[in-house]
Amino acid sequence: MFASSLRILPLTTIVRTRALPVEGRVLVRPGQKVTPTDVIAEATINQKHSILDVAAELGIPAARADAALKVKRGQKISKGDVLGESSGIFGREALSPLDGQVVATGGGKIVLETGGIPLQIRAGLAGTVSQIIENRGAILRASGAIIQGAWGNGKMDSGILAGLLKQPDDTLEAAQMDVGLRGSILLGGHVADLKTLQNAAEILVRGLILASLAPHLISAAKQAPYPILLLEGFGKRPMGAQAFKLLSTNLKRETSVNAESFNRFKGTRPEVFISLPISQEPPEPRDIETFSAGQFVRMNWLMRPAQSGTLTQLFEQPQRLPGGIIARCAQIRLETGEVVTAPLSNLEALG
């Protein structure tokens, strides 16, 4: 059976797409080395549109007005520019009330596009541009450590990783954060208090990597100005041993947090990437995993949060779970030595 995979790898090569949601300008070239803050592509979004009735302004029928227009599609115009004029002794002028760009004309009307918000897509990690996606962005290649998570608030940033947890089940308190952590990516445990998120914003952290978050803070986390990535999910859940170990041994390194949402269809997942110096490019992780004995797996099981172990047996026949459901299962030897039966649907191949 195909296995979902969870990447927690100390050294690997990843390939990631950075693309605009709309067409725009690509600012990098193939082979270019990029840092996490480099802009890959930019565009303007959420422009406003004004429909200007030039025919009415000139007092002529719409059918005749197109010939009276003095501007063309694509033309940039300023407030006060002449949009059209009617002929005759009492000819009139229609002037633009706004700065903008003409995006459509017809029927005696002009559509003017104004304003908009600049949108920039950044690299989010240190790597190399391997391919350009025309008018959209680029595909990047990078080597280092990767730790994938369960939930992200949609933001992305990078900074030096600072550790604020000693044990995987620690809770991160507001008082632990001081101004000395400004610009850092903070590694914390569980967050249960709004003040912690607020304090992180006040001292201008670049991101929070957490084990888990109290459910009542989801809305605040979505609004936080910095990326928040949850490795385990919601409720008081300790950090998984592999992620804890890997992150704790990479403190003070340049770390990128891409807290994008977990989207199985697109294949996106929130992830932490730590650039590491390499002499030779390490291999990429396997694309497709299937369950097999000897595999290291992580369990997604509410009552047994963040537990992982070795798959010791794939049962031929479906098994009855403690709750009564019958499902295809595997036997897992947990790191504690305990042996449990878990449904394959609740397992992710680690690696």
Partner 1 sequence: MPASLVEGNSLLAVDIGSVTTRAAFFDVVEGQYRFIGLGTAPTTAGAPFGNAAYGVQRAIENLQNTIGKPLTNADGHLILPAETDGSGVDQFSATFSLGPALKTVLVGLLPDVSLKSVENLARSSYLQVVDEIHMNDLRRPEEQLDAILKFGPELVLIAGGTNGGATQSIQKTLELIGLASYLIPQTSRPALLFAGNEAMAQTVRASMKNLVSNVITAANIRPLPEVEDLPPAQHQLADLVTVLRETQMPELKEIRALAGGFLIPGAAAHGRMVRYLAQYFNSGRGVLSVDLGASALTLAASFGQDLHLNVFPQFGLGQPLGDLLHHTTLDDLMRWFPLDLPADSLREYLLQKSLYPASLPVSPEELAMEHTLARVLLQLAAHSALSRLPAARRPKSGLLPPLEPILASGAVITNAPTLGQRLMILLDGLQPTGITTLALDQNNLLAMLGGIAEQNSLLPVQVINAGALVYLATVISPVSNQAYGVPIARAKLIRADGSESETEVKMGGLHILPLESGQNARLQLRPLQRADVGLGPGKAGEVDVLGSAIGVVIDARGRPIRLPPEAEKRRELLQRWRARMEG
95, 103, 132, 314: residue in contact with partner 1 (rule CB under 8 A) = 103
- Cα separation values, 142 from 36, 60, 251, 286, 301, Å: 11, 62, 19, 16, 32
On whether the CB atoms of residues 120 and 42 are closer than 8 A, the answer is yes
Residue 166 vs 264, nearer CB to partner 1: 264
Is residue 105 at the binding interface for partner 1, with CB under 8 A as the rule?
A: no
Residue 110 vs 187, nearer CB to partner 1: 110
d(CA 138, CA 40) in angstroms, rounded, equals: 7
Q: How far is the CB of 164 from partner 1 (least distance, A)?
A: 23
Which residues, including other chains, have CB under 8 Å from residue 279's CB and lie 6 or more apart?
A: none
108, 127, 309, 343: residue in contact with partner 1 (rule CB under 8 A) = 343
Exposure string for 221-240, b = 16+ CB within 10 A, e = fewer: beebebbbbbbbbeebbbbb
- How many residues touch partner 1 under the rule CB under 8 A: the total is 48
233, 238, 240, 309: residue in contact with partner 1 (rule CB under 8 A) = 233
Cα 170 to its chain centre, rounded Å, is 26
Is residue 234 at the binding interface for partner 1, with CB under 8 A as the rule?
A: yes
Residue 87 vs 261, nearer CB to partner 1: 261
Q: How far is the CB of 48 from partner 1 (least distance, A)?
A: 6
On whether the CB atoms of residues 251 and 162 are closer than 8 A, the answer is yes
Is residue 266 at the binding interface for partner 1, with CB under 8 A as the rule?
A: yes
Q: Which helix (H) or strand (E) holds 202?
A: helix 194-202
Contact positions toward partner 1, by CB under 8 A?
1-2, 4-5, 22-23, 46-51, 103-104, 107, 111, 150-151, 215, 218, 233-235, 262-268, 287-288, 300-303, 320-327, 342-343, 345-346
